[in-house]
Amino acid sequence: MLSHIVSLVNTYESSHGIRPNLVFMNETHYGLLREELPGVRDHDDVTNIIGVDIALSDEAIRPHVATVTFGGNHILAS
């Protein structure tokens, strides 16, 4: 899952010329990601490692990334 997210981030940045600041995933994806990071206990540490914030959604069939803005400013939402 970690390598998949890193690939999504890199592909998005290459295609759009801007780094995404949010990855959408469901609880299962998040659990798989956490399993790959056994020494990491804190959610903030997970987001620091992947370089984007995480939005959990049951509607996320597969992880996807986006650049989220509000009023022209990039925002992050955990």
Give pLDDT tens digits for 7-25: 999 999 999 999 999 999 9
pLDDT score, position 73: 56
Domain count, the chain: 1
- Does 71 have pLDDT greater than 80? no
How crowded is residue 75: how many other Cβ atoms within 10 Å of its Cβ? 12
Q: Which domain holds residue 26?
A: 2-74
pLDDT tens per residue, range 18-48: 999 999 999 999 999 999 999 998 999 999 9
pTM over 0.75: yes
| C-alpha span between 44 and 18 (Å, rounded) | 22
CA distance 12 to 20: 7
